């Protein structure tokens, strides 16, 4: 019987392997955090094999995979090592812990221009409808009503008022008519609830919160929309009027970017 460590005992821990690969790639923790959007304190914690800040096994595995890709390391052996150390592949967990563990700071709330445009269109439609209703109130004889004792002026023909049909207000359901000069992303929670975060091309936050089952959100930007999905398997995704058929697993964390034209995951 020989005494000694097996080759598996000599392999570095998950955190040390990620740290060594990051240093070898010449990357700082800040650069890795920027490219993966995993917060700096969580990157530091993972590199010391502290996974308590990840929000659960599902999210820890997602963070390990993203950090491994960022430092050009094969993530599969690290995921297998994590599963072996933590009781096997975890079952999907709710997305709520990620909401607390990886909340992205909100920018100051910007004016809701979409709501303002819809309100303006409704006001215009209402005014046109009122004008048509008031102008068309006659007795069917073709003679306009005049005040008692007055005589209608027959010398000048009465002007006729015509109006084009008002255009309907835009809605989330009109996804097929998305503008070509913008990127439009629609998310629907069809299989359960999921935490989501959405940013525009300047990095300004469009939404950060839970999308409950049956709810939908639509985001637009002139260049790019960046998404973080806490439970991608619960989300049905339409980009620029086209359904994205990626088969995301339940409980899977996904970071996606979409631009104008045919949707491509970033």
Does this model's pTM top 0.85? Answer: no
Please tell me the predicted confidence (pLDDT) of residue 90. 56
Contacts of 206 (CB under 8 A, 6+ apart): 198, 199, 200, 219, 221, 225
The residue extents of the domains of the chain are 10-91, 175-259
Q: Identify the CATH homologous superfamily for domain 10-91.
A: lambda repressor-like DNA-binding domains (1.10.260.40)
186: which strand partners?
218, 238
What is the per-residue pLDDT across 175-223, written as a single tens digit (0 to 9) for each? 556 788 898 989 898 888 988 999 999 999 999 898 898 999 999 998 9
Tokens in use for 120?
């303006």
What is the per-residue pLDDT across 44-73, written as a single tens digit (0 to 9) for each? 999 999 999 999 999 999 999 999 999 999
Please tell me the predicted confidence (pLDDT) of residue 47. 95
Q: Is 18 exposed, middle or buried (0-12, 13-18, 19+ CB in 10 A)?
A: buried
Please tell me the predicted confidence (pLDDT) of residue 21. 94
By the 8 A CB rule, do 58 and 90 touch? yes
- The sheet carrying 254-259 orders its strands as 205-211, 194-199, 224-229, 254-259
Q: What is the pLDDT along the chain (266 residues), one digit of tens a residue?
A: 434 445 555 678 999 999 999 999 999 999 999 999 999 999 999 999 999 999 999 999 999 999 999 999 999 999 999 999 887 765 555 554 544 544 545 445 566 777 778 888 888 888 877 777 665 554 444 444 444 444 445 555 555 555 555 544 444 444 556 788 898 989 898 888 988 999 999 999 999 898 898 999 999 998 999 989 888 888 888 888 888 877 678 878 888 888 987 776 44
CATH number of 175-259: 2.60.40
d(C-alpha 204, C-alpha 27), whole Å: 25
By the 8 A CB rule, do 53 and 42 touch? yes
């Amino acid at each position: 019987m020989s005494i000694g460590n097996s080759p598996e005992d000599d392999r570095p821990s998950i955190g040390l392997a990620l740290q060594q690969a990051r240093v070898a790639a010449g990357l700082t923790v800040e650069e890795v955090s920027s490219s993966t959007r995993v917060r700096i304190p969580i990157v530091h914690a993972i590199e010391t094999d502290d996974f308590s800040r990840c929000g659960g096994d599902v999210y820890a595995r997602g963070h390990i995979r993203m950090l491994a890709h960022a430092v050009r390391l094969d993530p599969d052996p690290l995921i297998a090592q994590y599963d072996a150390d933590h009781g096997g592949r975890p079952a999907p967990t709710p997305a709520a812990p990620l909401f607390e563990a990886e909340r992205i700071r909100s920018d100051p709330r910007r004016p809701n221009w979409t709501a303002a445009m819809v309100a303006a269109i409704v006001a215009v439609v209402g005014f046109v409808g009122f004008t048509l209703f008031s102008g068309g109130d006659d007795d069917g004889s073709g003679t306009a009503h005049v005040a008692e004792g007055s005589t209608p002026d027959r010398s000048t023909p009465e002007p006729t008022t015509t109006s084009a049909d008002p255009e309907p207000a835009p809605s989330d359901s009109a996804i097929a008519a998305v503008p070509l000069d913008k990127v439009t992303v629609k998310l629907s929670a069809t299989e359960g609830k999921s935490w989501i975060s959405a940013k525009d091309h300047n990095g300004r936050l469009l939404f950060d919160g839970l999308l409950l089952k049956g709810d939908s959100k639509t985001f637009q930007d002139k260049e790019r929309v960046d998404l973080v999905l806490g439970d991608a398997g619960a989300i049905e995704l339409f980009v620029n009027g086209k359904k994205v058929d990626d088969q995301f697993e339940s409980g899977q964390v996904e970071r996606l970017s979409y631009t104008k034209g045919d949707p491509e995951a970033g």
